[in-house]
Amino acid sequence: MTLQYFDYKYSFSLESGESLPGFRLAYTTRGTLNEEGSNVVWICHALTGNADAGDWWGGMVGSGRYFDPAPPTGTGQFIVCANVLGSCYGSTGPLSVNPATGQPYYHDFPAITIRDMVNALDLLRQELGIEKIHTCIGGSVGGEQALEWAILQPNLIHNLVIIAASAVASPWCIAFNEAQRMAIEADPTWPERRADAGVAGMKAARAMAMISYRNYDTYGFTQALDNNEQLDGYKSASYQRYQGDKLADRFNAFTYWTLSKVMDSHNVGRNRGSILNALGQIKAYTLVVGIRSDLLFPPTEQQFLARHIPNATYEEIDSLYGHDGFLIEFRPLANIIRKWMASAPAEVVKLEEVVRQAK
């Protein structure tokens, strides 16, 4: 598995009315596309994810996993994952060079949306010669991409799996994001045009985000007091700092800012009449999965999707880990998908059937 690059060398119009003078997407593929082109699994990553789904979703992708590119016999799935526009793992983002100035964009990177990201992904799909996607799956921001794609291209995706995502960014979610951007703004280095500007603010922002990704019970279980005599040195305090430092080792504040704004922009109803009208356009056989303890994207948001997407099924995972459960609860998630796929109508080609036919 090698990181590959797709370079789009034409002007790319954005929802904001601005444009990019072309862009690059980093992506990976695993497995082999079969002759019928019927074994494509497209995985959409979340906020700080990258193009290597086996890296951040190893419990779901790889040998012996539900998404297996190379089973012992036969042909497995052809798995595609691309680093989204605006990110920092090889795709065009705020630290990329602006051809108009010869310098990185930094604060001048144009505002992008989930829909812009998906339009870029669709250009990559065309470049790869993929005419149909057997299963498109994503959690959180990845789920928002998959949802948007199923609306933009109703006949492209056969099976759609949306995990811990919503039809529109809630005021609650936007408030969390704005608080994080305020932390970045409070960093005195943020106005500077250098790659590490705002990094201290981003560490604080990430610590805030972790509270929304987990929940009260998560911290009570994993970061419990050492003893009743403690006056300092609490596990939960050091954990917050650790998470900030960990992200700073692999991310930058400009990208974090940009992608948080992308989250805010999510609204499938924009310029489509209404949210219900947009969801009604989806033709894919759809599974929507909620996480009972999710504070950031509560199950009511996934239940709403399942009610208004035709041919949709709702399932729920009971996890200690809140929103992050979609990155952790591999076994129950795989079981839910397997059971749902097994009960698909006769006209829906099941993932296991694609593999079996190739043997």
Residues marked active site are found at: 140, 294, 323
Through-space distance between the first and last CA atoms of the chain, rounded to whole angstroms: 23
> What burial class does residue 4 get, using C-beta atoms within 10 Å of its C-beta: 0-12 exposed, 13-18 middle, 19+ buried?
middle
285-291: strand order across its sheet: 4-8, 23-30, 78-82, 40-44, 133-139, 157-163, 285-291, 312-317
Angle at 169 between CA 164 and CA 173, to 5 degrees: 80
Query: Helix 171-186 to helix 199-213 angle, to the nearest 10 degrees?
Result: 150
Structural element, H or E, at residue 238: helix 235-248
* Lookup result for tokens 């279980």: 221
| CA gap 195, 193 in Å, rounded | 7
Tokens of 228: 């009743």
Identity of the amino acid at 204:
A
| CA gap 21, 32 in Å, rounded | 32
Which residues are CB-contacts of 51 (< 8 A; sequence separation ≥ 6)?
3, 26, 27, 28, 45, 81, 82, 83, 89, 90, 91
* Lookup result for tokens 């609650």: 172
b/e map 197-228, b = 16+ CB within 10 Å: bbbbbbbbbbbbbbbbbbbeebbeeeeeeeee
Angle at 239 between CA 233 and CA 187, to 5 degrees: 100
* Lookup result for tokens 């560490």: 203
> Is 68 strand, coil or helix?
coil
